[in-house]
Amino acid sequence: MKSSTLKADLLLLLTALIWGSAFVAQRVGMESMGPMLFTGTRFGLGALVILPLALRGDKGRWREPALWVGGVCAGLVLCGGALLQQAGLVFTTAGKAGFITGLYVVLVPIFGLFLRQKVSGAIWLGVGLAVIGLYLLSVTEDLRLVPGDAIVLAGTVFWALHVILLGQFAHRVATLRLALIQFVVCSVCSLMAAVVMEPISIGAVIDGAGPILYGGVLSVGIGFTLQVRAQRDALASHAAIILSLEAVFAAVVGWLFLNEHMNTRSLAGCALMLSGMLIAQLVPLRGRLKQQHGLPQGDHPA
């Protein structure tokens, strides 16, 4: 393995750890403030972290219409996903929220059907495994979806739409500038909603300073920057596997710091969901790589 690839893999592993453990910080943050205030301050801090990097380079590219259209649209969708995830964490565990959020991986290709993109059998297999896993993880004996899990699941729809939106704009504009705009939009919209719907106090922000700093500076600002840097050199297959470990880290850190436990049924559900996520990413990726190298499907290089 090349040293640059190994370094990229380690950076991605650190990113997955930061993002996974952020679910714990987000849950702890709910002890002192509402989800809208937490989300607004968190993404505002994240925007400040990447601001110096986003300001570098050609100043003229700030006038590109695609940058602002993509940034604002992505920011609004990001706001929906982040607020629903944060609200769901009031009623569910960090570990369960991590796995349910990861389902955006299997939703993205399904939503791609509306863009006339083909969905392979492997993706449908991944979806099937993920749905069975979700049933084991979150559906009660009387066939009800646990309320907190249902809220996080609704947010997953927004995360999938967010990925699709970024796919439409990220290759046309400067990535960090797009990220900055979407973070600012998300922060402003969340804070406006908090002013209308939640009690606001400086004391609450001070009490939740630790989770806010972790969720904003580390998860949003540094985590995103590490991902962008690492994926310049990382193999796509490595990135898919390593970033999927975010859900596993969420469960492990939740167990270590919040004493969250899962029974055998829940653990089986998590295993099936993780398998579905990996299949939905890796099998189609393998097919694309074969096509790029001129290899027919089903054949292997010598």
Q: Which two tokens stand for residue 241?
A: 């596997």
Q: pLDDT band at 152, cuts 50/70/90?
A: very high
Among 63-72, 216-225, 246-255, 278-287, where is mean pLDDT lowest? 278-287
Alpha-carbon separation of residue 108 from 103, 115, 126, 167, 284 (angstroms): 9, 11, 12, 11, 13
CB atoms within 10 A of CB 27: 24
- At 296 the pLDDT is 37
Q: Which range marks the domain in which residue 223 is found? A: 3-292
The total number of structural domains in the chain stands at 1
Q: What is the pLDDT of residues 262-300, one digit of tens each?
A: 899 999 999 999 998 888 878 766 655 555 544 333 343
- At 302 the pLDDT is 38
Whole-number percent of the chain with pLDDT over 70: 91
- With 0-12 / 13-18 / 19 or more C-beta atoms within 10 angstroms meaning exposed / middle / buried, residue 88 is buried
Q: Read off the DSSP letter of residue 139.
A: B
Residue 61 lies in a domain: yes
Residue 178 lies in a domain: yes
- At 288 the pLDDT is 58
Among 24-38, 135-149, 175-189, 280-294, where is mean pLDDT lowest? 280-294
Q: Decide: helix, strand or coil at residue 145.
A: strand
Residue 302 lies in a domain: no
Residue 300 lies in a domain: no
pLDDT at 169 over 80: yes
Q: What is the pLDDT of residues 38-89, one digit of tens each?
A: 999 999 999 999 999 999 877 777 889 999 999 999 999 999 999 999 999 9
Contact 152, 101 (CB under 8 A): yes
Residue 299 lies in a domain: no
Q: Which runs of consecutive H residues, i.e. helices, occur in 139-235?
A: 147-169, 175-197, 202-207, 209-213, 223-230
Share the mean pLDDT of the chain: 87
Residue 301 lies in a domain: no
Residue 44 lies in a domain: yes
Residue 176 lies in a domain: yes
